Chain A
Amino acid sequence: MQPAIAVRQLIKTYSEGEAKVTALRGVDLDVHAGEVVMLMGPSGSGKTTLLSIMGCILTATTGSVRLSGREVVGLNQKQLPAIRLEQIGFVFQGFNLFPTLTAGENVELMLDLKGVRGATAKNRSQELLEQVGLGQKYNSFPDDLSGGQKQRVAIARALAGDPQIILADEPTAALDSQTGRTVMQMMKDLAHKRDRAVVIVTHDPRVAEFADRTVHIEDGLVVKKSDIEIPKELLLTNEFDTTLTAI
């Protein structure tokens, strides 16, 4: 089966004045629909750069990135937004909700970008909020929501575009551990029950258990999982409450 994301020999070099910094030194990675892949590694290892390139936000220096079989390296800045809109849903560390819009309107914004408007957009937005357990919060502004609720609105917004790929950057970093676990379970459900390819960048080894695979990156290279031992005491147990509305 064709992977949702296929990365081959990916190199990314930044110019800093006259100096050149290589953030990725030839990364290979496949992510399939229905699996959760966790990208882990120390700060500056290149994991966010990899996520950004897979998300068509950054362009690669050389190499290949195929999303659902389509090569995206070499596409220009006018073509990349369309790919993002079509295929990718983002979940950010800081939620990145629009504070002046209600939860429902935040979701509607994504639908609007996809050309869905009016009553259809409103109904779909309501439906998506219900799916993440926030059906009653349609008219609430982000400032009136808890961190976990905000992240669930962000997930509903990411889903509004009906993407095949969900890319999440430290989605639990701003959440307490219980809320973080619930959000992670939701991400896992997206992969397993809705057949999405989910890639999560995290520093937090405690959420690793939600991954089907963990890819460790150091100095711009993928390091085999067996090369890095995750301390057992940092791993979470499975005894968490998945009741979404409890957040």
Chain B
Amino acid sequence: MPPLAQRNLFHDKVRLTVTLTGIVFAVVLIVVELGLFVGFTVTTSGLVDHSNADLWVTSKHVPYVELGVPYSERKLYQVRAVPGVAEAQKVVSRWAQWKRADGRNESVQIVGLNPDSVMENPWNLVQGSVQDLKQPDAVILDDIYKDKLAVHHIGEIFEINGRRARVVGFTHGIRSFTTSPYVFTTFKRAQDYVSLPEDQTIFVLVKLAPGANVEQVRRDIASSVQNIEVFTSHEFSRMTQVYWMFTTGAGVAVLLAALLGLVVGFVVVAQTIYATTMDHLREYGTLKAMGAPNSYVYKVIIKQAAMSAVLGYVLGMIVSAFVVKASQSGGAAILLPLPMAIGMFFLTLTMCVSAALVSISKVTSLDPAMVFKG
């Protein structure tokens, strides 16, 4: 086919610019909103996803990881006695107040763990080590929140709920969805910080023995330990994500903004492609008069829309890449995983081709007899 679609598209540079601006705007808006959604979702369940545990044992009716309810430490030993359990550790996760050097308080989320366990250790450590937590008053936090917590370097002393805390390490990129930074410390010290009675824990994390059946062990724990619930890490992660993203409505708002981007993009692209089609209506009438079937004319219009989509997508992703990169140093990460980038391509293509359908309906009803009118 002679390059009619390409030429029509590139012939009017102003209209092409408007079309591409619309698509780029839509792509960037959708990527940012979906990226925020993915970023938020990953952030909400980060503590569970990076726990390296197979099972989480919680009190009954715990909806998400931030809302753990204390229960007796004796249950830890009951869990350890269940066949198939290789390791079980107590973990605390609770809010506390961090006192900055200037006297201001910031809310933080204390995570108490066993530094000798492979479970629930701080990840992405860039300074210090998990073993440093064994030092007196040691805590590890994320460097993203240095400004928020007024931390400048390792060794600085602060107060958490009136008790001494000394920074011994930094992680990078462990964000908190609630904006209260995670502060990692030992289980014992965490009990002090959050005033949890000595004989209580909030979670027990379980690592299965090699070859153990996760469902079997889970059933065995549930039947042998009273008043607890057992979740796989995947389940507990999903529960936490669903709570924050959907029950609170936060995720819905972000998704609605992404949908808005899609609608705006659709309208802009539909308008410009329609206007281009109207400009070339006489040519399409001529094509039909020459004997071209409707499908031939559709191909021209769809090809035009598809080319707009590809160009708009490439430009949009370049802009989005800058936005995503810029977000990495902020409190809210925008993530752009490869499947999302690929999905965006097809979404953009679908958006543009659907937008072209408005023009196609116009061409379908076009009377080729128009070629004889003036």
Contacts and interface: CB of A to CB of B under 8 A. Distances in A.
Interface of A: 48, 51-52, 55, 57-58, 78, 81-86, 88, 90, 92-94, 96, 98-101, 105-106, 108-110, 112-113, 117, 157, 161, 169
Given A48-B372, A105-B2, A108-B2, A100 B290 contact: no
A199 to B, nearest CB: 13
Interface of B: 1-4, 7-8, 11, 282-283, 286-293, 296, 368-369, 371-372, 374
B286 A100 contact: no
Contacts of A98: 4, 7, 283, 286
A212 to B, nearest CB: 23
Contacts, number: 78
Contacts of A109: 1-2, 4, 287, 290
A85 B291 contact: yes
Contact of B291 (A93, A94, A113): A113
Given A90-B289, A94-B374, A112 B1 contact: yes
Q: Interface SS of chain B: helix, strand, loop or mixed?
A: helix
B289 A113 contact: no
B4 A92 contact: no
Nearest to A107: B2
Nearest to A141: B7
A110 B290 contact: yes
14 contacts: A51-B372, A57-B369, A81-B292, A81-B293, A82-B293, A84-B289, A84-B290, A85-B290, A88-B291, A96-B283, A99-B283, A109-B2, A109-B4, A113-B287
Nearest to A82: B291
Given A86-B291, A100-B11, A169 B4 contact: no
B4 A81 contact: no
Contacts of B289: 55, 57, 84, 90, 96
The 10 closest A-B pairs by CB, nearest first: A85-B291, A100-B7, A84-B291, A105-B2, A96-B286, A100-B11, A81-B291, A108-B2, A109-B2, A57-B369
Contacts of B11: 99-100
Contacts of B7: 98, 100-101
Contact of A101 (B4, B288, B293, B371): B4
A247 B3 CA distance: 28
Contacts of A101: 2-4, 7
Contacts of A99: 11, 283
Contact of A100 (B4, B368, B369, B372): B4
Contacts of A85: 290-292
A81 B2 contact: no
Given A84-B290, A90-B289, A52 B369 contact: yes
A203 to B, nearest CB: 13
B371 A96 contact: yes
Contacts of B286: 92, 96, 98
Given A94-B374, A96-B282, A57 B368 contact: yes
A8 to B, nearest CB: 22
Contacts of A93: 372, 374
Contacts of A112: 1-2
Nearest to B12: A100
B8 A100 contact: yes
B290 to A, nearest CB: 6
B291 A92 contact: no
A214 to B, nearest CB: 20
A58 B292 CA distance: 15
A93 B287 CA distance: 15
Contacts of B8: 100
A52 B286 CA distance: 13
A47 to B, nearest CB: 10
A113 B369 contact: no
A151 to B, nearest CB: 14
Contacts of A57: 289, 368-369, 371-372
B369 A90 contact: no
B2 A92 contact: no
| Candidate in A48, A96, A99 with the most chain B CB atoms within 10 angstroms | A96
A109 B287 CA distance: 9
Contacts of A117: 1
Contacts of B283: 96, 98-99
A105 B3 contact: yes
Contacts of B296: 113
A52 B372 contact: yes
A125 to B, nearest CB: 9
A12 B104 CA distance: 89
Contact of B290 (A48, A52, A90, A94): A90
| Candidate in B2, B3, B8 with the most chain A CB atoms within 10 angstroms | B2
A117 B292 CA distance: 15
B276 to A, nearest CB: 11
A225 B11 CA distance: 48
